[in-house]
Amino acid sequence: METIMEVHLGQKQKQQEFTVSISQLSASSPTTPCSLALARFSIEGQGAQLRFHQDSEPRDDILVDLRTAQLFKLGPVESTCIDEGSAINKEEEKSYSRGITIRFKVEDESRAFHRAFEHWKTEAARVCSGGRLENGILACKSKFDDKIEASSAKMYFHYYGQLLHQQNMLQDYVRTGTYYAAVVENRADFIGRVVVDVGAGSGILSLFAAQVGAKHVYAVEASEMAEYARRLIAGNPSLGQRITIIKGKVEEVELPEKADILISEPMGTLLVNERMLESYVIARDRFLHPNGKMFPTVGRIHMAPFSDEYLYVEIANKALFWQQQNYYGVDLTPLHGSAFQGYFSQPVVDAFDPRLLVAPAIFHTIDFTSVKEEELYEIEIPLSFIASVGTRVHGLACWFDVLFNGSSVQRWLTTAPGAPTTHWYQLRCVLSQPIYVMAGQEITGKLHMVAHNAQSYTMQLTMSAKMWGVGAEQGGILQTSSCKLDLKEPYYRMSQPQAYAWADQQPQQLMQSQDAVGPGLVQQLSQNSGASLTQ
Ligand SMILES: C[S@@+](CC[C@H](N)C(=O)[O-])C[C@H]1O[C@@H](n2cnc3c(N)ncnc32)[C@H](O)[C@@H]1O
């Protein structure tokens, strides 16, 4: 039987109650007489608290700040709770120390209360950032909320909450087929194991894990897609009985046990867009046993300079509109420069012919098993290439691949140019000022990416042509070009006609299935491409 647990701390969802008898002693008031109260633990919008609700008005409730409170056993059925924090309810004095004597009916109840107290104290410490608002209310924010703008997160999870977008990913057969193959070929990594599916979406990867014999899969999904996943799993009962859908962010939910293996599809454009890799790494630190496996295990960003006159002219021409001096009698030219730069600040997303690359590619590796979440906030990649041909370099072409480092089979999922196209396509950063190179000349530079709170990156690209020929050993720079781009605002060029027909000219191995495509072939393609460049 499948279950759905709503675990989203910060909302009124987790509660536990005990009926007890209490009396209160505080610095400002004498001991109160014994009275019956409902002791209720909760993590709410107001923070983590223990509320003693007596028969009277809710405003007479006694609220205890679980981050600072301590509980001592006075006897088998009697305990005292010391609260040394500031008042949570604003009517109370701002700073105090008070004791609440609690009497239980039976010893078992006392034990259960102590256990719950410890559990909720741990929860309180974990979910509360420690910030206290002016009105004395605890501000509980998760790591996700701390770094991501609420409006961005809202749009993001709204997008993934729709079946049409999940379908788009499911219909990327290169993507989904490679995940399936990686799981099936490495069933030994899943049989009898506890699995966490990080950002489960429709639940497809959880179902794959259950198919190959996972003991239990916890499928964590923050968007409304969790409900659809529950329905999909209910419709596949033989697998669904080993899957638990948990609606919430991986940064916030609690799981009943640690995982042997994480499975996830956290890759965005250029691998890092959407900043979901950070959630994958947080999930690793929160849920994975030491030495547990991660599918995928490693990701690589590949980069190579390219030459594409058609693309350059197309982008530059977009700004021509602003060259008009008489647009209904208005001179638009003062804005031409800004419009021109604006178009070049958009990374171009499309599938291009690998023969446009003018040097063998280099790559930057991110090991998901060891990278620290903070290391993904800023990524700096030094660039160094040797041009294979003399040409105009229009910018940097980028793509990524990920490795499933299974115990039985190592499988790569690649988004390389020339390999079967995925829904990620490839990405090109186009320089507004191209640079000229000769065959054998060194191209240096830097790709600097800084994460922003709209779940993406600002990119700064610099490319330089180094001195070449006589005197080159002195290492001077002949020409430099830079541009700043926002990975969040790409130019999706897929609907545009491609300027070249290349399918029938590809090497035979490119026409073969994804099985044949690995990082070795990607390198080979990149090496070949420069030599056969046609402009
Ligand atoms: C790229 S989709 C992959 C969906 C599914 N695993 C698949 O392979 O078809 C990523 C999913 O992760 C979810 N997600 C992203 N960040 C998350 C987070 N911090 N916590 C939980 N789910 C998250 C998104 O809502 C989305 O459904």
The predicted-structure confidence for 315-334, as pLDDT tens digits, reads as follows: 999 999 999 999 999 999 99
274 part of the active site: yes
Whether 388 and 360 have beta carbons less than 8 Å apart is answered as: yes
Which entry of 2, 221, 252, 265 is annotated as an active-site residue? 265
The ipTM estimated for the assembled molecules is 1.00
pLDDT in tens, 3-18: 344 333 333 345 578 8
Tell me which H or E stretch contains 452.
strand 442-452
Could you tell me the distance, in angstroms and rounded to a whole number, from the CA of residue 206 to the centre of ligand 1?
Answer: 12
Distance of alpha carbon 169 from alpha carbon 426, whole angstroms:
16
Q: Are 263 and 280 in contact (CB under 8 A)?
A: no
Which of ligand 1's atoms lies nearest the C-alpha of 175? Answer: 8
The rounded mean pLDDT for the chain is 85
- pLDDT of residue 504 exceeding 60: no
The region of weakest confidence among 45-49, 407-411, 465-469 is 45-49
Q: Per-residue pLDDT for 384 more than 90?
A: yes
Which atom belonging to ligand 1 lies closest to the Cα atom of 264? Answer: 6
Please determine, for residue 35, whether its predicted confidence score (pLDDT) is greater than 90. no
CB 255 less than 6 A from any atom of ligand 1? no
Q: Is the CB of 430 under 6 A from ligand 1?
A: no
The Å distance, Cα 529 to ligand 1 centre, comes to: 35
List the residue whose alpha carbon is closest to atom 10 of ligand 1.
Answer: 199
Residue 198 CA to ligand 1 center (angstroms) comes to 7
Tens digit of pLDDT for each residue in 57-102? 666 788 888 877 888 888 899 988 887 654 444 444 444 567 889 9
Ligand 1 atom closest to residue 159's alpha carbon, by position in its atom list: 25
Look at ligand 1, atom 14, and give the residue with the nearest C-alpha: 199
Ligand 1 close to Cβ of residue 277 (< 6 A): no
Q: Measured in angstroms, how far is the CA atom of residue 266 from the centroid of ligand 1?
A: 7
* Ligand 1 contact, 246 CB (< 6 A): no
* Terminal-to-terminal C-alpha distance of the chain: 61
Flag whether pLDDT at 118 surpasses 90: no
| Residue 131 identity | G
User: Which atom of ligand 1 lies closest to the CA of 157?
Assistant: 25
Q: Which of 177, 221, 118, 212 is nearest to 408 (CA)?
A: 212
Closest ligand 1 atom to Cα of 200: 6
Pocket test for ligand 1, best of 147, 160, 262 (most atoms within 8 A of CB): 160
Q: By the 8 A CB rule, do 404 and 295 touch?
A: yes
**Phi, psi for 228 (deg, rounded to 5):** -65, -40
Query: If you measure from the C-alpha of residue 442 to the centroid of ligand 1, how many angstroms do you get, rounded to a whole number?
Result: 41
Query: Residue 286: in which H helix or E strand, if any?
Result: helix 276-287
Catalytic residue among 274, 278, 373, 442: 274
Exposed / middle / buried, residue 120 (Cβ in 10 Å: 0-12, 13-18, 19+): buried
The predicted pLDDT at position 427 comes to 98
Q: Take atom 4 of ligand 1 and give the residue whose Cα is closest.
A: 201
Q: How confident is the model at residue 117 (pLDDT cuts 50, 70, 90)?
A: confident
From the DSSP assignment, how many helices (H) and strands (E) are in the chain? 13, 26
pLDDT of residue 522: 28
Closest residue by Cα to atom 27, ligand 1, is 201
262 CA to centre of ligand 1 in angstroms: 13
Does residue 250 line the site of ligand 1, with CB under 6 A? yes
Q: Is the pLDDT at 229 greater than 50, yes or no?
A: yes
Please provide the size of the chain in residues. Answer: 535
Distance between CA atoms of residues 444 and 385, nearest Å: 6
- Please give the pLDDT value at position 57: 66
